[in-house]
Amino acid sequence: MLKKLYIIILILIFSTSSVFAIENIEEGSTLSVQDCIDLAIKNSPQIQIYKQYIERQDSLVGQSKASYFPSIGASVGYDFANSDSKIHSSHSNNTSARVALNQLIYSFGKVFSKVKMQKFYKIAAEYDLKTAILDTSNNVKSAYYAVLAAKANVDIQKANVLVNERQYSRTKAFFDEGLVSKIDLVNEEVYLSDAQIGLINAETLYQNSIIALNNAMYMPNAPKYNIENTETFNFKENFAQINLLNVANIMTKEDGSVEPKEAVLTTQVEKNEILENYKFEKYPYTLEESIEKAYKNRPDLLSMQATKDAVNEALKYSKKSYLPDLTGSVGYNWNNNNYYSTNGVSLGAYLSTNNLNIMDINLKIKESKAQLEIAKNNVELVKQNVYFDVQNAYVNMIQLEKNIPLMKIKVRQTLENYELADARYEVGLGNFIELQDAKENYNNAQRDYVQTIYKYNVALTNLRTAMGEI
C-alpha cells in the first residue's frame, strides 16, 4: 500500500511540475538550474523510453486482468454430402450456427498471481523512470556548476589581465625613469602575455562547459542564453577601477633608495570578490542517516525489490499450474438439414486442465526458483552499491566542506600579502620577484577557491543523487 501511495505521489509531482516547466530556450534568456533540468527531462530520449516501458507494463497488467472478463465465441458452418451406390444414393445439406459465452469462475489463484506479477513489474518500471530522471538531473547540475565555475574563472583571468596591464604600465614608467632594470620590464611583458593566454584558455573552457550543458539538456543547437547563480554558488562580475600610477619625477631617499616624487599613490590591488553572499551550511545528516535515507529512497533499489516481488509471484503462478480452471459456459445452437431443424440454449460448468505437462511444470518451477534467488542476490548487490555510493559521496563532500572556510581564509591572506608586496614594490622597498609571487599566489588562491566551491556543489549533488533525492 505504501509503495502504491509513493508511486501515485511521484507521478503527481512529475505531472504537476511539467505544467510549469520551461518549454524552450529563447535567445538571450536567463535559465535557472531547475529550468535546465526541466528541459533535459523534456528532451531526453532515455526518459521517453522509460515512459514507454511504463505504458507497455500497464498494458500487460490489463492483459492479465482480462482473464476475469468473459470471452465470446461464434461459429457458422455448412456441410454438403453426396453418396451414390448401387443400392442407395443420398445427399444432405447441413447448416449450423453457434454462439457461446465463456467465463472463468475460479482459477485457484493463478490469474491473481499473474496480475500481481505484472503490477510489480510496472512498479519496477516506474522506479526505473525515476532513476533515469535522477541521473539526468545529476548530469545537468554537474554541467551547470561547471559553467558557473568556468564563468567565475573567466572573471578571475580578466582581472588578472587588468592587474598585469597595470603592473606593466607602472614598470615601464619606472624603467623609463631608470628605476628598474630591463629584465623587470621584459618579465612584466612575459607575465602579461601569460595572463592573456590564461584568459583565452578560460574563455575556451567556458565555451566547452556551455556545450557540455547543452548536451546534458539534449539541446546541441540551443541559442545563446545566460544562467543564474545558485544559493551555493554566487559570484559577481565587478572589478575595482584601475588607477595607473603617474610617475612625474623621482627622488632619492637618505638610505639611497628612490621613490616617485609628487606621485599619485593609488596602488590598491583590485579585489575581485568572485563569490558574493556565499551561503554555506553544513550538511545536516550523519553518514548513517544518509545511508538509511538512501535505502528508503533509492529508485534502483526499490525497482530491484519490486522485481524480486514480481519473480516471487511468477514462482507462485508456476506452482499453481497443476491446478485446474473452473469455467462456465452459456451458448445458443442452431442446426438445419434436409430432415429437421433444431435450436436451443446450453449451460455448463467445467473443471479442466489444458494440456497438463508435469515435466514442463516442474522445470518451470525450478527456473522460477532460480530467478527468485537471482533477484534476491541482485537486491543485496544493489544495496551494497547504494551503501558504497553514499559513503563515497559523503566522504568527498565532507572533505570539501571542511576545505571551503580554509580556502576563503587563504584568499583573504594572499590578497593582504599581495597588497603589501605591491605597496613595497611601489616605493622601492620590495623586489620584482616578491611582487610576482604574491600576485600569482592571490590569483591561484581565487581559482582554487572557485574550484573548491564547484567540487563541493558536485559532491553534494552526487550525495543527494546517491540518496535518491532530486
The string of pLDDT tens digits covering residues 364-418 is 999 999 999 999 999 999 999 999 999 999 999 999 988 988 888 888 888 888 8
Mean pLDDT calculated for residue range 142-169: 87
Among 243-247, 326-330, 460-464, where is mean pLDDT lowest? 243-247
H runs (alpha helix) in 272-357: 287-297, 299-319
What pLDDT digit, counting tens, does each position of 45-87 carry? Answer: 999 999 999 999 999 999 999 988 999 989 898 887 666 666 6
Question: Is the per-residue pLDDT at 268 higher than 60?
Answer: no
155 backbone dihedrals φ, ψ, rounded to 5°: -65, -40
User: Is residue 331 within 8 Å of 323, Cβ to Cβ?
Assistant: no
Residues in the chain: 470
For residues 150 and 364, what is the distance between their CA atoms, to the nearest angstrom? 58
Number of domains the chain contains? 1
Mean pLDDT calculated for residue range 109-129: 94
Which of 63-67, 90-94, 229-233 is most confident? 63-67
Exposed (0-12), middle (13-18) or buried (19+): which is 160, by Cβ within 10 Å?
buried
User: Given its phi and psi angles, is residue 355 left (phi above 0), alpha (psi -120 to 50 degrees) or beta?
Assistant: left
350 backbone dihedrals φ, ψ, rounded to 5°: -135, 140
User: What's the chain's average pLDDT?
Assistant: 82
Q: Is residue 18 part of a domain?
A: no
Domain that holds residue 364: 23-466
CATH number at residue 257: 1.20.1600.10
User: Is residue 69 within 8 Å of 102, Cβ to Cβ?
Assistant: no
For residues 401 and 393, what is the distance between their CA atoms, to the nearest angstrom? 12
Mean pLDDT calculated for residue range 311-318: 93
- Beta bridge partners, 31, equal 227
For residues 27 and 222, what is the distance between their CA atoms, to the nearest angstrom? 9
Q: Is residue 13 part of a domain?
A: no
User: Is residue 22 within 8 Å of 228, Cβ to Cβ?
Assistant: no
Cell numbers given for 419: 597588497
Q: Which helix (H) or strand (E) segment is 57 a member of?
A: helix 45-65
User: Is residue 290 within 8 Å of 394, Cβ to Cβ?
Assistant: yes
Q: Is residue 386 part of a domain?
A: yes
Q: Is residue 272 part of a domain?
A: yes
Query: What pLDDT does 170 receive?
Result: 79
Cell numbers given for 297: 529512497
Query: What pLDDT does 279 receive?
Result: 60
Mean pLDDT calculated for residue range 249-265: 41
Question: Is the per-residue pLDDT at 92 higher than 80?
Answer: no
Mean pLDDT calculated for residue range 207-227: 91
pTM: 0.78
Query: What pLDDT does 312 receive?
Result: 95
Assign 279 to helix, strand or coil: coil
Assign 96 to helix, strand or coil: strand
Q: Is residue 5 part of a domain?
A: no
For residues 114 and 124, what is the distance between their CA atoms, to the nearest angstrom? 15
How far is residue 194 from each of residues 11, 65, 151, measured CA to CA in Å?
A: 54, 72, 19
Query: What pLDDT does 123 receive?
Result: 95
- Beta bridge partners, 250, equal 260
Q: Is residue 123 part of a domain?
A: yes
For residues 185 and 180, what is the distance between their CA atoms, to the nearest angstrom? 8
More confident call, 240 vs 16 = 16
Q: Is residue 143 part of a domain?
A: yes
Query: What pLDDT does 1 receive?
Result: 45
Assign 353 to helix, strand or coil: coil
